[in-house]
Structure 1
Amino acid sequence: MTDGDRGVPVVRLGEVAKIVSGGTPSRANPAYWGGDIPWVKTANIRNGRIGIDDIDERITEDGLKRSSARIVPAGTILMAMYGQGGTRGRVSVLGVDAAINQACAAICVVDGIDPDYVFQALRHQYDAIRRMSNTGSQENLSTDLLRQIALPLPELRKQRKVAQVLMTWDDAVQSAEALAGHLQSRRDAVLRRLLDDQDANWREVALAEAGTISGSGVDKHLVPGQAPVVLANFLDVMRKDFISAADLTHLVTAPETSASKCALHRGDILLTPSSETREDIAHSAVVVEDIPRGVYSYHIVRLRLHEDWDLQFRAYALKSRRFLHQAYRLCEGSGQRYVLNLSTLREMTVRVPNSHAQRRIGHILKMADDEVESTLEVARLYARQRRALAARLLMIDGRSA
């Protein structure tokens, strides 16, 4: 089989690679766990190289012998055959000899085929490979399905050249992401210093004194006859410090009374009152403009201030360790979900400096956030350029496997 436009041979993955999976020793037997053998699961597969420090579990020789787990050598390509979210279909290259579980497919290419090229080709076909699994209730991949993946296969010299070019782009993306991570850590340290090292002139105020807290947000429904609105939801608040109309894309409907009651005005502070983990309670973001037809969801509460806090400072005022520790301590839950009820939230206190200090703090932290975001945008740009280049070099459009 060949690519008719370019005359490049197209093979099935199973023709040029041995594909096997592993297993999991019994969790009920502690003698199988905590040994010296690295044991890889799908959570370790993240579209890159898996080093020894990336593998968080170990099994014993006895656990290996008494299960279907198997050791595969460094350099093996691993693909996640199932897993939560976007895990299924991801690929990584194993950096050390390690055992794998039954959800990981080990792809060992034959001599004369460049494994880095195969890795890049499989990575580029991520979406198409995931669609191959959408045939049953489990939506899992299998080794048999993986053997059927089509793979354009130029001669070895071209394989190596393509792989090297794409790995260079991978390095550029990873470097930009690493720089963004460093800048984020620095920003977090600055935030801690500015908000936690407070002087005696800061005043302490309960949220109920500073403003009005409202819950009972809009549900995620589309009901004929109701008013169309755009929703600020849990993830919007978790991902952003500043929310504008352009950030909200979730269209729903609501009665006019609810649309009015839950409206979003410039300066509103949105908080997350519930989550599956305590750490995600009381995250906050500020609305930076009046948002026509904008409303907050039932997973969010709104703090509308009576006091005149600086707009940028509002985005950070509730991010101090002291405030978040209050939320962590006061939220109620049984381990499945934690909730900070409105009466408790109203009693929580925040420390606020004078207006000059607010403007200074808000300005410094906003500049730090902008620096992180601009670096992430560079990483996203590199990633888009890499994908376009991969489509040309690999002669795969990414839509079919």
Structure 2
Amino acid sequence: MREVDERSGTGEGALLTMRRASGLVPLSNFSDKIAEPERLRHYKLASPGQIVMNPMQAGNGMFAICRTPGLISPDYRAFELTDEADARYLIALFKSEAMRATFRAESKGLGTGTAGFLRLYPERFGSLFAPFPPPEEQRRIADFLDAYTAQVHRLVATKRRTIAALVERKRSITTNRLYVSGNAELPLAPRNPDWQLRAIKRIADISFSSVDKHVYEHERQVRVCNYVDVYRNDRVTLATPFREGSVTEAEYASFALKAGDVLVTKDSEDWKDICVPCLVADDVPDAVCGYHLAVLRPNTEQISGKYLYFSLLAAPTTWQFHKAATGITRYGVGKNEIGTAVIPLPSICEQDEICLALEEELASVDAAKDKVIREIDLIVEYRDSLIAAVVTGRLDVREAMIPSIEGDDLADHAATEDEDMEDALDAPD
């Protein structure tokens, strides 16, 4: 591999962005935003067949093949390959946990304090050793993995559609418990006309987390509840696994997870994913809310955390957030938009009765959703272990049957990885 650094000079061309699962893709696939060429003049040119690396995320497997010519962030690194190297094989190898661990170990810090981060420099990357079969074996391995992962993508995409249907079922049940059909001007009204409609800012404190993914030795070591943890879970508990992180004492005081808090997604690539709620069911020691999330801490004299969670899940509240979301490449809402959204507010006693009824009614839906999520986790875990075994030679697939791939299954990568969401939010400009 040889690094190339060719700058655009004009800023003309398709702007490419990198996702962990879907690779290096045109930004226009996700957004209608058109960047001014003047702003992109210093961007790098990437050509088909090159491998592109995000050096700050190499330890997380952020490598991709360039398939269409375009512009990439100046922070990315582009490499041309020799004739004996198959880019598909190398990408699978670089994403294996063994190589990712090596990349993490070889990454070096740059800067101090909150500006610090780890970066895999090209000279360190280029000096590393890795398994390198003959070209024909690389091609055979890559063909096998392409066919296998296409099947995985199809299976996982089907299961994600099942999850989406279950979420909508849960939203419908919750909405029907809190609202009734109204007239043309007000299609939905509180189920009990005595319930007041109250702005969220009147009954809960709202704060946006400043906790990023960097880990600094001089800060308090914690676990961080990130965007995906909230997006895929209805609630987080003591048993929920989180990533390692670090925070200042002030951040810990503000964003430590407390029972009754409701976490919501405040940014997204898709406006439909704005303000997805998640209930903090337990006090979780040494765990904090991460970036791209908002913490809603209810005034317990007026509203319970459980009821706040259900009210945010209901369709009328979701509609208010979606209507308020703004953005081009990424959508988001501010504190004011969250705070001014209104929800019906029964008495505390009625809230408890509603929550108990909803928990009983939704138990089967939640169990089905959790089951499908566990199935996806097992499928992805097995996929990763099989790929690692194949690219390192522990599993010989030279004589394996390679099924034909029907349709454009490989284009559906985005449906297989929740982490693509965080990649989109954290992508460098």
Q: What is the SS of the residue equivalent to 2:130?
A: strand
Deviations 1:158-211 (A, max 9, x none): 3334334433443344234323432343234435544557425712435699x9
CA distance in 1, matches of 2:247, 2:372: 33
Specify whether residues 87 and 80 from structure 1 end up closer, same or farther in structure 2 by C-alpha distance, changes over 3 A only.
farther
One-letter identity of the residue aligned with 2:316: R
1-structure distance, mates of 2:60, 2:257? 39
Aligned counterpart for 1:99 among listed residues 70, 74, 79: 70
Q: Does 1:152 align with 2:131?
A: yes
Structure 1 equivalent of residue 20 of structure 2: 46
- Kept in 1, the 8 Å contact 2:7–2:43? The answer is yes
Aligned partner of 1:6 in structure 2 is none
Q: Distance in 2 between matches of 1:88 and 1:296?
A: 22
Aligned-partner residue type, residue 270 of structure 1: V
Q: State the secondary structure of the residue aligned to 1:120.
A: helix
Number of aligned residues = 342
Residue 262 of structure 2 is matched in structure 1 by 270
- Give yes or no for contact 1:173–1:379 (8 Å, CA) kept in 2: no
Structure 1 residue 396: deviation in Å? Answer: 8.3
In structure 1, distance between residues paired with 2:15 and 2:300: 50
Partner of 2:187: none
Shift of 1:153: 1.9
Is 1:116 aligned to 2:109, yes or no?
Answer: no
Partner of 2:142: 163
| Aligned 1:24-103 pairs, distance under 5 A | 24-26=8-10, 32=12, 39-41=14-16, 43-48=17-22, 50=24, 54=29, 69-70=44-45, 72-73=47-48, 76-82=49-55, 90-95=62-67, 97-101=68-72, 102=74, 103=76
Which of 335, 341, 366 is the equivalent residue of 1:339?
Answer: 335
What is the match of residue 227 of structure 1? none
Q: Render the CA deviation track for 1:96-140: whole Å, top value 9, x for unaligned.
A: x31343424143341x44332222222222342344341544744
1:314-344: CA deviation from partner (whole Å, max 9, x where unpaired): 643222343245568899xxx99933599x6
Query: 1:170 is matched by which residue type in structure 2?
Result: T
Aligned to 2:166: 187
Report the counterpart of residue 180 of structure 2 in structure 1: 199
Distance in 1 separating the partners of 2:334 and 2:4: 41
Q: Distance in 1 between matches of 2:247 and 2:120?
A: 35
Q: Is the 8 A contact 2:261 2:295 kept in 1?
A: no
Specify the SS of the correspondent of 2:376.
helix
Residue from 92, 103, 112 that aligns with 1:129: 103
Name the TM-score, length of structure 2 as normaliser: 0.56
Q: Determine if contact 1:237/1:283 at 8 Å carries over to the other structure.
A: yes
Q: Show the counterpart of 1:36.
A: none
8 Å Cα contact 2:303/2:345 also seen in 1: no
Aligned twin of 1:319: 313
Q: Please state whether the residue corresponding to 1:245 is helix, strand or coil.
A: coil
Indicate the SS of the match to 1:105: strand
1:263-322 per-position Cα deviation (integer Å, ceiling 9, x unaligned):
966xx4535598899x7986543355x6597999797343376799996x7643222343
* Whole-angstrom distance in 2 between the partners of 1:242 and 1:163: 39
SS in 2 for 1:199: strand
Rounded to whole Å, the distance in 2 between the matches of 1:185 and 1:387 is 24
Superposed CA deviations along residues 1-59 of structure 1, whole A, max 9, x for unmatched, are: xxxxxxxxxxxxx3xxx4424434456xxxx36xxxxx353x33434455667486999
Cα distance in 2 between the residues matched to 1:47 and 1:274: 23
Q: Is the 8 A contact 2:258 2:280 kept in 1?
A: yes
Q: SS at 1:151's partner residue? A: coil
Structure 2: runs of 5 or more not aligned: 112-116, 182-189, 212-221, 326-330, 395-429
Aligned to 1:11: none
- Look up the match of 2:343: 349
Higher RCO (CA < 8 A, seq sep 6+)? 2
Cα distance in 2 for residues equivalent to 1:140 and 1:19: 16
Contact kept, 8 Å, 2:267 with 2:274, in 1: the verdict is: yes
Instruction: Please say if residues 298 and 304 of structure 2, whose CA atoms lie closer than 8 Å, have aligned partners that are also in contact.
Output: no
Tell me, yes or no, if the aligned pair for 1:310 and 1:358 is still in contact at 8 Å.
Answer: no
Distance in 2 between residues matched to 1:337 and 1:243, nearest whole Å: 23
Instruction: Measure the CA separation in 1 of the matches of 2:119 and 2:332.
Output: 27
The residue type paired with residue 202 of structure 1 is R
CA distance in 2, matches of 1:116, 1:377: 29
| Alignment partner, residue 20 of structure 1 | 4
* Residues 44, 55 of structure 1: 8 Å contact kept: no
Report the structure number with the largest CA radius of gyration: 1
Question: How many Å separate the matches in 2 of 1:77 and 1:58?
Answer: 26
Partner of 1:152, secondary structure, is coil
Calculate the TM-score normalised by the size of structure 1.
Answer: 0.59
* 1:225-274 CA-partner distances (Å, limit 9, x unpaired): xxxxx9996866565322333237799999xxx9xxx9966xx4535598
Residues 22/145 of structure 1: CA separation in 2 closer, same or farther (3 Å cut): farther
Contact kept? 2:198, 2:342, Cα under 8 Å? yes
User: What is the CA–CA distance in structure 2 between the aligned matches of 1:212 and 1:67, rounded to whole Å?
Assistant: 48
1:212 deviation in Å? 6.9
Q: Percent identity?
A: 13
- Report the CA distance between 1:381 and its aligned residue: 1.9
Cα distance in 2 for residues equivalent to 1:80 and 1:381: 28
